[in-house]
Chain A
Amino acid sequence: MRTTFRIITLAGLASCLTGALSAGVVTFSSRSQFDAAAPGLPVEGFEAGNVADVDFASCPSPLNSTSNNSCFTPGQILAGLDLNNGGIDHSGAEFALIGAGMFANLSKMLLLNYGDEILNLDFGPAAKAVGFDLYSLLSTDPFQVEVFGASGSLGTFSADPAFTGGFFGVFSDGEAITRISVTPSAGDFAGVDDIAFGTPTPEPGTVPLCLFGSAILYAITRGKQRTAE
């Protein structure tokens, strides 16, 4: 029993310093749960993009913070995020920037202009957590989402898109995320919005709280040890 308490105490202490207890990749289908696990991340919502409500505009691939085209000027997309279709050439019309209300979307969002193509989200620097609204155009059949780190694939997951935006989130407790590839269901179009990405930092009170909790746990252990003696 005493050994068990000591292990728990040490594990709790370790978790205070490193984050979640379990290592690996955890996925989320709810933004609120994702935000709770990875709070405070910057979010790219494409709201600076040049498109009117209930309209759309064609944009080239890739799109990133240096883009300077009819959709975005430099700095209008957050640094550290690059969106592309893997290099398939459609003469500068690889993406469709969708204005609010054009479809069932309430705010601007980004959709691949052609169906059956893979949408890549690249992160540099690599991110520990990524979450985004996932849109489809033709059906709500599941999409395939593959998460990559520097060493290769960290896992492939099924995600439910929606015409009004489903959600996919991933948190890697180990290797950081360098790319997420979204493969739509047959014939469909992949779209994203409100991409939260980065490495969450513990809130200011988290570490002292963890240390305080671990100290109490240690004290209980010591107390039980003395009682036993």
Chain B
Amino acid sequence: MPVELSILASRSRCLGLGLLFVAAVSSAMAQDPPEVVIGERLFKETRFAQAFRAFLDGGHGPNEPMTSGDLVMDTTVTTSAPLAGPFAGQSMNCRACHLVDEHVGAAGGGMRSYNDFARRSPVPHRTQDTKTAAPRNSPPLVNASLTRAVGMQLHFDAEFTSLPDLVAGTLTGRNYGWLPTERAQAVQTVARVIREDDGSGGLAQEFGALPYSLTLTGTSPSIPPEYRLPSQYRVNVATASDDAIFQAIGKLISIYTEQLVFSTDQNGNFNLSPFDVFLQLNGLPQQPAGSEARENYSRRLMTLIAAKVTAGTLQFVTSNPNTSGGDFDFHTQPFVFGPQELNGLRIFMREPAAAVASPSELAAGGTGNCIACHSAPLFTDFLFHNTGTTQKEYDAVHFTGAFNGLSIPALAARNAAYNSYLPATGTHPNAAEPFRAIPNSAQPGRTDLGVWNIFANPDIPKPQGNLNLIFCQLAMKEATPPANVITTCSQTALLPKTIATFKTPGLRDLGHSGPYMHTGQFDALDDIVTFYQETSQLARAGTLRNGARELKGIALIGSDTAALVAFLKSLNEDYQ
């Protein structure tokens, strides 16, 4: 079922408008091209995981329902009581960790922007390891695939440089239950399901009840137009190799994921949040002009707003122009952008006079310096920073100062002892990956160092060029002149700068993506503002290990929190 349709379906359930649902079916079907529709089916497919392979190995066929599903699918984990799993009785799929409307209306549930409710997403059980959850919080997929200045870096730690690579890594990875040595089995399983699927399953019924072999081969005149793939997406299932089928699947899921973006108008302007409506209402620019840097656009925006305030012409938003009642459909907050939100916007965008906030700035507060990494309109720089999240979590599990005392090897020592330090891969299946782990009190030394695991990792070559460039740029900004490329940007010099760095998340529709941070450690936006107050102090005091330099410019006081949170909530929208 296409995304738009699934959301409309949930809305119709909420409102009891069954007829609207029926109308939406044909409308949504008409909107989504076949590659997106088929991509969504594959995104939801539950038969690619290791648990289903075990079922097949028990003598069953791909079209038989599992006799007992993977236990991890029974529930949707939340920060409180678990919810009933929408794919209970089956095995892992993409959607289990990238939910949308499955729990709308459920107590403790709600809409999601293609993420889940867990602090860290549960993973299938395997007897060969002790893992019960992914090391990180499931990120929203909406807006995750937008193009960026320094190449595509996907996942919190930049492990993947393209969506097809990410999809391939996921379908053959631990989140689907596969161990590092089982890649070939994973590919084989995907290919077998595709070849033998007869279109009789429940998921297939939502997509025209067509066998995968028919839709992916794509040449039969019996395929309805809405499911007929353009030639570039087809694969002749009867003759193609397992790898060729696997690649075709990865391509289609990528296409589906790529089109998950927040709503924009015909000019490419985001248009559904109170913030966006505020800009539109006041005739303010909604995106950078030409090649204007996003930071400069953000600064210009604030200047224009200030001029309107001075002229007395600024208008506030009091209701949602996109719904009949003027409210949100999927958020309980009022749809407003008023003085409180504007004050929050000012704090969000305000920069310190120098790189480090001055004593007077610290006393006055009101300087968020958020623009440094979260400039409008995307509210992310897609780069990698250490905000102190890892240190806070590690110190909370062990003791204050524990992270600063943690022994982290330099490049030569790290790469010389791959199995002791780096993540498990097909080449090093027995690697201990202590630095891509969830901290626990029984095992000191285990934590998540983010990009440090990927940077200069010989088993993961693709991201290296862009990571070298990104961290070289970062090092150059921090270096005392005269910096030079040779001494500043060697991988040996740069590796320490990757410690505990993670990709900057976007801030749109945060109301549908908690809990927050890669650790999932914060339930509320207020907690995050307080966290930044704390870590900026640590950064200035020099006790935040490899902390982002931008933190030193933050000067927030307690009374700033309400306004900042109000602004962040004004970025919520009814994603459809």
Q: Do A and B bind each other?
A: yes
Q: Decide: A137 and B472 in contact? CB cutoff 8 A.
A: yes
Knowing A137-B473, A138-B473, the reply to whether A54 touches B464 (Cβ < 8 A) is yes
How far in angstroms is the closest Cβ of chain A from B544? 25
What residues of chain A lie closer than 8 Å to B486, measured between beta carbons? 56-58, 93, 96, 113
Chain B 439-464 against A: per-residue CB contact (8 Å), 1 yes, 0 no? 00000000000000000000001001
Least Cβ–Cβ distance between A159 and chain B, in angstroms: 14
Partner of B485, one of A56, A105, A187: A56
Check B151 against A104 for contact (C-beta < 8 Å): yes
For the complex formed, measure the closest distance between the CB of A141 and the CB atoms of chain B, giving whole angstroms.
9
Chain B residues positioned under 8 Å from A102 (CB to CB): 465, 468
When distances are taken between beta carbons in the complex, the residues of chain A under 8 Å from B323 are: none
CB-based contact A103/B472 at 8 Å: yes
- For residues 5 through 38 of chain A, which have their beta carbon under 8 Å from a beta carbon of chain B? none
Q: Is A114 an interface residue (CB 8 A)?
A: yes
Within 8 A of A (CB), among B3-22: none
Residues of B within 8 A of A104 (CB): 150-151, 465-466, 469
Whole-angstrom distance between the alpha carbons of A105 and B485 in the complex?
15
Output the least CB separation between A206 and chain B (Å).
38
Bound: A103/B464 CA distance, A: 8
Q: Are B485 and A96 in contact (CB under 8 A)?
A: yes
Q: Is B482 an interface residue (CB 8 A)?
A: yes
Collect the chain B residues with CB atoms within 8 Å of residue A57's CB: 486
Tell yes or no: B360 within 8 A of A by CB: no
Nearest B residue to A98, CB-CB: B485
Docked pose: A138 CA to B151 CA in angstroms? 14
Verify A114–B149 contact, CB threshold 8 A.
no
Once bound together, how far apart are the Cα atoms of A113 and B472, in whole Å?
12
- With a cutoff of 8 Å between Cβ atoms, the chain A residues found around residue B151 in the complex are 104
Question: Is B484 close to A, CB under 8 A?
Answer: yes
- Answer whether residue B406 sits at the interface, using C-beta atoms and an 8 A cutoff: no
Q: Give a binary string over A34-66; 1 marks a CB under 8 Å from any B CB, 0 the rest.
A: 000000000000000000001011100000000
A48 to chain B, nearest CB (A): 20
* A56 contact set on B, CB distance < 8 A: 485-486, 489-490
Answer yes or no: B476 CB below 8 A from chain A CBs: yes
Among residues of B, the one whose C-beta sits closest to the C-beta of A188 is B476
- What is the CA–CA distance of A113 and B490 in the complex, to the nearest angstrom? 12
Q: Please report the C-alpha to C-alpha distance between residue A58 and residue B486 in the assembled complex, in whole angstroms.
A: 7
Interface residues of A in 94-135 (CB under 8 A from B): 96, 101-105, 111, 113-115
A122 smallest CB distance to B (angstroms): 22
Q: Nearest residue in B to A105 (C-beta to C-beta)? A: B465
B149 touches A140 (CB 8 A): yes
Q: How far is the CA of A66 from the CA of B37 in the complex (A)?
A: 61
The residues of A that contact B491 with a CB separation of less than 8 Å are 54
Separation in Å of the B87 CB from the closest CB of chain A? 40
Q: B465 near A111 (CB under 8 angstroms)?
A: no
Contact B485–A137 (Cβ < 8 Å): yes
What is the minimal beta-carbon distance from A161 to any residue of chain B, in angstroms?
12
**Nearest-neighbor residue (CB-CB) of A59 within chain B:** B486
Asked whether A163 and B484 contact (CB < 8 A) given A101-B464, A104-B151, A115-B476, the answer is no
| A222 proximal to B (CB < 8 A) | no
Once the chains bind, are B485 and A54 in contact (CB under 8 Å)?
A: no
Shortest CB-to-CB span from B212 to chain A, Å, is 36
For residue A189, CB closer than 8 A to chain B, the reply is yes
Given known contacts A54-B464, A103-B465, A137 and B482 CB-to-CB distance under 8 angstroms: no
A224 contacts the other chain (CB 8 A): no
Q: Which residue of B lies closest to A138 (CB)?
A: B473
A189 — which chain B residues lie within 8 A by C-beta?
485
Determine if B483 is an interface residue (Cβ-Cβ < 8 Å): yes
Q: In the complex, what distance in Å separates the CA atom of A25 from the CA atom of B549?
A: 46
B53 to chain A, nearest CB (A): 36
Contact in complex: B465, A113 (CB < 8 Å): no
User: Could you tell me the distance between the alpha carbons of A115 and B491 in the complex, rounded to whole angstroms?
Assistant: 19
How far is B481's CA from A115's CA once the two chains are assembled, in angstroms? 9
- Please determine whether B466 and A113 come into contact, CB atoms closer than 8 angstroms: no
Find chain B residues with CB under 8 A from A163 CB. 149-150, 469
Nearest-CB residue, chain B, relative to A114: B484
| Complex interface: chain B residues within 8 A of A90 (CB) | 484
With the chains together, A58 CA to B151 CA distance in Å? 26
**Alpha-carbon distance between A24 and B292 when the two chains are bound, in angstroms:** 32
Residues of chain A with a CB closer than 8 A to B149's CB = 140, 163
Name B150's closest neighbour in chain A (CB-CB). Answer: A163
Query: Chain A, 192-207, contact with B by CB distance < 8 Å: what is the 0/1 string?
Result: 0000000000000000
Which residues of A lie under 8 Å from residue B461 when comparing CB positions? 54, 101
Alpha-carbon gap, A140 to B465, bound state (A): 17
A166 to B20, CA, bound (A): 51
Please name all residues of chain B whose beta carbon is closer than 8 Å to the beta carbon of A101 when the two chains form the complex.
461, 464-465
Does A54 lie within 8 Å of B484, measured CB to CB?
A: no
- The interface bits of chain B over 487-515 (1 if a CB of A lies within 8 angstroms of the residue's CB, else 0) are 00111000000000000000000000000
Per the bound structure, the CA–CA distance linking A115 and B486 in Å amounts to 12
Q: How far is the CA of A73 from the CA of B472 in the complex (A)?
A: 29
CB pair B473–A111 under 8 Å, yes or no, is: no
**How far does the Cβ of B124 sit from chain A's closest Cβ, in whole Å?**
35
| Cβ–Cβ contact B468 & A54, under 8 A | yes
Min CB distance, B473 to chain A, in Å?
Answer: 5
- Given A104-B150, A137-B473, is A54 in contact with B482 using a C-beta cutoff of 8 Å? no
Q: Which residues of A contact B468 (CB under 8 A)?
A: 54, 102-103
CA distance A189 to B477 in the complex (A): 13
Scan A73-95; emit 1 where CB is below 8 A from any B CB, else 0: 00000000000000000100100
Could you tell me if A137 and B476 are in contact, using CB atoms closer than 8 angstroms? Answer: yes
Q: Name the CB-closest residue of A to B486.
A: A58
- What are the residues of chain B within 8 A of A114 when measuring CB–CB? 482, 484-485
A54–B461 Cα distance when bound, in Å, is 9
Set B150, B291, B485: member contacting A113, Cβ < 8 A:
B485
List 20 A-B residue pairs with CB atoms under 8 Å apart, sorted by A's residue number. Answer: A54-B465, A56-B485, A56-B490, A101-B464, A102-B468, A103-B472, A104-B150, A104-B151, A104-B465, A104-B469, A113-B485, A114-B485, A115-B484, A137-B472, A137-B473, A137-B476, A138-B476, A140-B149, A163-B469, A187-B476
Known A93-B484, A96-B484; further 6 A-B contacts with Cβ < 8 A: A104-B151, A104-B466, A105-B465, A137-B472, A138-B473, A189-B485
* A-B interface, 7 closest residue pairs, ranked by CB to CB distance from nearest: A103-B469, A96-B485, A101-B465, A58-B486, A113-B484, A114-B484, A113-B485
Enumerate chain B interface residues (CB-CB to A < 8 A). 149-151, 291, 461, 464-466, 468-469, 472-473, 476-477, 482-486, 489-491
